[in-house]
Amino acid sequence: MTITKRLLAVLLAVVFVAAACGSDGDESSDAPAAPTCDQEGTLNVPDDFDTIQEAADKAAPGALVLVAEGTYEEAVNVTCPDITIRGIDRNNVVLEGGFELENGIRILETDGVVVENMTAQNYTGNGFFWTGADGYRGSYLTAIRNGDYGVYAYGSVNGVFEHSYGSGSPDAGIYIGQCGDCNAVIDDFTSEWNGLGYSGTNSTNVTIVNSTFRHNRSGIVPNAGSYEGCAPPINNTIVGNVASDNGNLETSAIAVAAEFPGVGIIITGSNDNFVARNRVDDNPVAGILVAPTPESDPIGPIIEEPDPDCTEDSVPVSDAEIAELPNPLVWHAHRNEVVDNLAQGNDANGGWDIMTVEAADTENCFSGNDAAVLSPADLEQVAPCGGPFGEINAESAALIGLLDSMQADQNDFETVELPDPGDLENMPDAATAPTEPARGPVGEIDIDAIEVPAAPTD
Amino acid sequence: MPAPTPRRRLTGLAAVALLAGLGLTACGSGDDVELVEGVTEQVDALDNSFAPEEITVPAGAEIEFRNRGRNDHNVIPADPDEDWTIEVEDFKPGSPPTSVRFTEPGTYDYYCSIHGTATAGMIGSITVEG
Ligand SMILES: [Cu+2]
């Protein structure tokens, strides 16, 4: 930009600022009536209420907001607890953001809310978003082309996302973060054509099973950072998923997703995770990569163990303390167990099926994987589960070189071409199924019974 | 119905122009802006919170808003009659700080509309003392 252009920009900004400060302000208020949360039974939209928002503000605990087929240009805020908002048809109940509205349905510091069987698309922020919730569930949701995340839970605990689909988000199709004990399950989720398939910053005890993460820049990425609370992430279970064909440089992507493309599963800055029996094929950098998270401009120090009660926001340390922090701050991955995965065809571009660039003293372990190209080549001999740990000759420079070769434009989420997922599965008996406030995962998942999934056929 | 707030008058344009050159915006009443130099408070937008959530500053002090998260955020006055919004485009992660100054004592509540409403989620408050 020339100096003249910069000056012009400043002058234009001056005009804008002056106008912005001089609000005459229409002093009447169009503020909506406060939610009453007192109507039981089924609240039909649009038969009984013109908008989803009006019904959601009236619904009593246990009530059902049942949305008929149609397109709803709404950004719904939910503050009535323990309600269910359900579309009658997942593919034909469409919340439309029009690249103007920020979030399709947002649940704010409100517990027990279920959202199911509908689509949210073209929001500048998120499709479906829970923040500060204890108890949440999203089922049979479709989130397409939203500017941040598709399906998103933040600072929330005791949740389930299942039978859902997210595509076209530059950050992640699905995200669960900032929870010292998330107690969350992701089951039967398909996430494709996003920056990341799954991202979870500082999330502990998330179980990801039976899901598909493909055609993203990278697939499944639990990660650490001081800019969110509840660091570091630990004890996540990633079993029986497909994380294949990532390294798609045509997606939109935020900077960090664009910087780390081409990997099926990245265990980065994250500890004590169990990564087993996943199918991880045809990713151009690595099938499974265990690596540190280099956090630039950190606002707090490394934390060894998260507070299991944490859902709290990060608080920066003093500027003087920040100046003393390493930059980047390196969150290492420790004691992760990578076993019995099927990782093939990730070397066509010079990459690796399974790779670690962490030193042996981090005690990440690798056993029983069906993988041809390991890095280092003797990985399962020098870092077997149960030990003992030998020396790891990490190929860090080669990894950086391959990542460098795949740097590409971040692309605009509004205009990227996306696949048409077709009609996606509806929930059973949407018109009549009873409601149940969300309290977290129901029953135990039999992790041991989950096998390596078959290759996708489409 | 919230009580109507008094209309805020335009700050002197010359002062605004000078401040804008420094990346500053000035809001509040009074044609003669008494700026307090040497007092700068920072508010960080993280993902998805403001830190600190509440600050108290003398009237005319500089408040720097910085986006130190990884996501987009904005800063919207909770009182729709106030107008000192910081838009997403001007507040990208890692971009230079945006400063505001309030010359009129009072409480200025604000929020990020992506991650909160005027009363819940990503919210903050500035108390300006006379
Ligand atoms: Cu925000």
The pLDDT > 90 percentage for chain A reads 89
- If one counts the domains in chain B, the total is 1
Q: Is the CB of residue B4 less than 8 Å from the CB of residue B81?
A: yes
- Predicted local confidence at residue B22, as pLDDT: 39
Mean pLDDT of all residues in chain B? 78
CB < 8 Å to B94, chain A:
297
What is the 8-class DSSP label of residue A429?
T
Q: Is the CB of residue A192 less than 8 Å from the CB of residue A169?
A: no
CB contact under 8 A, A20 and B10: no
Question: What is the distance in A from the centroid of ligand 1 to the CA of A343?
Answer: 38
- Predicted local confidence at residue B28, as pLDDT: 45
CB contact under 8 A, A316 and B69: no
Host H or E run for residue B106: strand B106-116
Of A12 and A285, the one with more pLDDT: A285
Chain B nearest-CA distance from A237, in A, is: 24
Would you say residue B34 has pLDDT above 80? no
B41 falls within a domain: yes
Chain B contact residues (CB < 8 Å to A): 1-2, 4-5, 7-11, 13, 16-17, 20-21, 25-27, 42, 44, 46-49, 51-52, 68-72, 80-85, 93-94, 113-117, 120-121
Nearest partner of A149 among A187, A107, A217, A103, judged by Cα: A103
Nearest partner of A89 among A104, A103, A72, judged by Cα: A72
- Predicted local confidence at residue A21, as pLDDT: 39
Mean pLDDT of all residues in chain A? 92
Amino acid residing at B12? G
Write out pLDDT tens, residues B40-77: 899 999 999 999 999 999 999 999 999 998 889 999 99
Strand order in the sheet with B76-77: B54-58, B121-129, B106-116, B76-77
Closest A-chain CA to B118? A31
Q: Per mean pLDDT, which range of A64-73, A184-193, B81-90 is the poorest?
A: B81-90
Nearest partner of B111 among B126, B94, B92, judged by Cα: B126
Would you say residue B11 has pLDDT above 90? no
Question: What is the distance in A from the centroid of ligand 1 to the CA of A411?
Answer: 22
Residue A16's pLDDT band, with cuts at 50, 70 and 90, is very low
Q: Which domain holds residue B110?
A: 6-129
CB contact under 8 A, A21 and B68: no
SS3 B5: coil
Which CATH number goes with the domain that contains B47?
2.60.40.420
Q: Angle at the Cα of B44 (from B38 to B45), degrees rounded to 5? A: 150
Question: What is the distance in A from the centroid of ligand 1 to the CA of A148?
Answer: 11
- Predicted local confidence at residue B15, as pLDDT: 34
Considering only CB atoms, B49 lies closest to which of A24, A126, A313, namely A313
Q: Per mean pLDDT, which range of A3-7, A261-265, A435-439 is the poorest?
A: A3-7
CB contact under 8 A, A228 and B82: no
Of B120 and B39, the one with more pLDDT: B120
Measured CA to CA, the distance from residue A58 to residue A83 in angstroms comes to 10
Closest B-chain CA to A315? B51
Instruction: Copy the structure tokens of residue B36.
Output: 């307090």
B1 falls within a domain: no
Interface test with A, best of B24, B41, B49 (most A CBs within 10 A): B49
Instruction: Copy the structure tokens of residue A363.
Output: 């005690």
Chain A nearest-CA distance from B59, in A, is: 16
Chain B nearest-CA distance from A20, in A, is: 6
Residue A305's pLDDT band, with cuts at 50, 70 and 90, is confident
Which residues neighbour A16 within 8 Å (Cβ) at sequence distance 6 or greater? none
Q: What is the mean pLDDT of residues A156-160?
A: 98
Chain B nearest-CA distance from A187, in A, is: 25
CB < 8 Å to A154, chain B:
47-48, 115
Would you say residue A178 has pLDDT above 50? yes
A113-132 residues touching B, CB cutoff 8 A: 124-126, 131-132
CB contact under 8 A, B52 and A315: yes
- Domains assigned to chain A: 44-169 (2.160.20.10), 188-412 (no CATH)
Measured CA to CA, the distance from residue A132 to residue A218 in angstroms comes to 27
Would you say residue A234 has pLDDT above 90? yes
Q: Per mean pLDDT, which range of A303-312, B33-42, B51-60 is the poorest?
A: B33-42
H, E, C per residue of A155-189: CCEEEEEEEEEEECCCCEEEEEECECCCCEEEEEE
Write out pLDDT tens, residues A347-404: 999 999 999 999 999 999 999 999 999 999 999 999 999 999 999 999 999 999 999 9
SS3 content of chain A, % helix, strand, coil (to 5): 10, 35, 55
- Predicted local confidence at residue A192, as pLDDT: 98
CB < 8 Å to A126, chain B:
114
Q: Quick one: B35 exposed, middle or buried, by C-beta within 10 A (0-12, 13-18, 19+)?
A: middle
Considering only CB atoms, A10 lies closest to which of B21, B71, B85, namely B21
CB contact under 8 A, A77 and B117: yes
Residue B111's pLDDT band, with cuts at 50, 70 and 90, is very high
- Predicted local confidence at residue A424, as pLDDT: 98
Nearest partner of B112 among B23, B28, B45, judged by Cα: B45
Distances (CA, A) of B16 to A371, B19, B33: 63, 5, 9
B70 falls within a domain: yes
Measured CA to CA, the distance from residue B43 to residue B65 in angstroms comes to 5
Which residues neighbour B10 within 8 Å (Cβ) at sequence distance 6 or greater? A18, A21, A22
